[in-house]
């Protein structure tokens, strides 16, 4: 009942924010802008997202201590995308990925199918479940940290970044906080305090002695985020918006950080508000910024259909006991 109420509240927030934006920008203008999108640009954005998911799978594979086929992990990754896009607030896509991975880790440990080179030690309490969730968490963490780093690196090259000080502090603040948090969690074992903090410390501890692995995964993250930036840039060009690539690199990380606030369904409403606010500083009219946000979201939803196909295939392969 509590989860249902939470979903209803998030839905109300999404509907309320969208209604407010539509009342100020005009639904007809937004729809008219969306209709003008170049289908080739939309298809290219979907392709960029699918490729970024493939690279994300390879990054995730690095963080897992056993030899698991990339094809299988890609299925799990796309299933997670499907759950995040189509069943928001009910079952988290990351939890689904960790659930499937945990079963594979447990099954494969009996076959001694571990890597030859030094990697994560499976000595943690309830190791298979813990390592599964740790790998998913670290995959996400590296992705977010690289996103912030790229946005911050674009600041000196941005044509307008000094002109809105109410925004410019966000990425530096998150970057510094991420550095401090990473150092504390990685090098200072936390045994007392909130369970969530203890769990994060344990997750970081699993990778403490494998800095080269994390550096390699971080480089993959840079490429992945550049693909996501490029997808939005292609969609902006497809909508005939005058947005340069650097402006997108500067602003999209802030949009994503704001969208991460767990107050709406799949970030709907919050993401559009952030697009209107931030890209408004770059001179993009509100209705066009909102159209860009919606088209970008639709491109990820379209790519997520692949996840449904993978989910049905995996269900059939695993049998009724693990559905």
User: If DSSP codes are grouped into helix, strand and coil, which group holds residue 114?
Assistant: strand
Q: Please return the burial class of 223, using the count of CB atoms within 10 Å of its CB with bins 0-12, 13-18 and 19+.
A: middle
Domain of residue 237 covers 39-322
Chain centroid offset of residue 160 CA: 27
Summarised one tens digit per residue, pLDDT across range 70-82 is: 999 999 999 999 9
pLDDT, position 113:
46
Is residue 228 predicted with pLDDT exceeding 90?
A: yes
Is residue 114 predicted with pLDDT exceeding 70?
A: no
Is residue 20 a part of any domain in this protein? no
More confident of the two residues 160 and 152: 152
pLDDT, position 299:
95
pLDDT, position 165:
64
Is residue 176 predicted with pLDDT exceeding 60?
A: yes
Is residue 168 a part of any domain in this protein? yes
pLDDT band at 4 (very low <50, low <70, confident <90, very high): low
Q: How far apart are CA 221 and CA 82, in angstroms?
A: 21
Is residue 128 a part of any domain in this protein? yes
Is residue 148 a part of any domain in this protein? yes
Count other C-beta atoms under 10 Å from residue 62's C-beta. 17
Q: What is the mean pLDDT of residues 170-174?
A: 86
The number of distinct structural domains making up the chain is: 1
109 and 128 Cβ atoms separated by less than 8 Å: yes
Is residue 44 a part of any domain in this protein? yes
Summarised one tens digit per residue, pLDDT across range 191-223 is: 777 776 777 777 777 777 778 888 999 999 999
57 and 77 Cβ atoms separated by less than 8 Å: yes
Q: What is the mean pLDDT of residues 289-294?
A: 94
What is the rounded radius of gyration, in angstroms, for the C-alpha atoms of the chain? 20
84 and 71 Cβ atoms separated by less than 8 Å: no
The pTM score is 0.86
Is residue 23 a part of any domain in this protein? no
Is residue 138 a part of any domain in this protein? yes
Is residue 3 a part of any domain in this protein? no
Q: What are phi and psi of 101, to 5 degrees?
A: -65, -40
pLDDT, position 91:
59
Is residue 110 predicted with pLDDT exceeding 70?
A: no
């Amino acid at each position: 009942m509590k989860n249902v109420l939470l979903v209803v509240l998030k839905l109300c927030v999404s509907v309320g924010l969208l209604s407010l934006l539509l009342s100020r920008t005009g639904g007809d203008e937004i729809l008219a802008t969306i209709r003008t999108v170049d289908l080739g640009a939309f298809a290219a954005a979907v392709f960029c997202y699918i490729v970024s998911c493939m690279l994300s799978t390879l990054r995730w594979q690095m963080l897992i201590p056993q030899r698991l086929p990339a094809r299988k992990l890609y299925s799990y990754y796309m299933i997670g995308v499907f759950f995040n896009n189509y069943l928001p607030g009910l079952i988290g896509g990351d939890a689904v990925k960790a659930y499937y991975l945990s079963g594979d880790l447990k099954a494969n440990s009996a076959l001694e199918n571990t890597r030859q080179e030094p990697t994560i030690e499976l000595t943690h309490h309830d190791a298979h479940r813990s390592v599964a969730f740790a790998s998913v968490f670290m995959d996400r963490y590296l992705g977010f940290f690289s996103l912030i780093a790229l946005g911050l690196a674009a600041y000196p090259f941005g044509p307008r970044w000094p002109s809105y000080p109410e925004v410019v502090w966000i990425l530096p603040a998150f970057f510094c906080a991420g550095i401090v948090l990473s150092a504390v969690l990685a090098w200072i074992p936390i045994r007392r305090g909130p369970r969530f903090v203890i769990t994060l410390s344990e997750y970081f501890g699993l990778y403490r002695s494998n800095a080269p692995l994390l550096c390699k995964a971080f480089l993959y993250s840079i490429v992945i985020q550049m693909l996501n930036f490029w997808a939005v840039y292609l969609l902006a060009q497809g909508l005939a918006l005058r947005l340069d690539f650097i402006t997108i690199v500067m602003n999209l990380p802030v949009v994503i950080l704001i969208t991460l606030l767990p107050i709406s369904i799949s970030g709907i409403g919050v993401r559009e508000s952030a697009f209107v606010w931030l890209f408004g500083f770059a001179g993009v009219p509100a209705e066009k910024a909102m159209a860009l946000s919606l088209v970008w979201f639709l491109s990820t939803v379209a790519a997520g259909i692949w996840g449904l196909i993978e989910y049905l295939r995996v269900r059939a392969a695993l049998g009724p006991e693990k559905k």
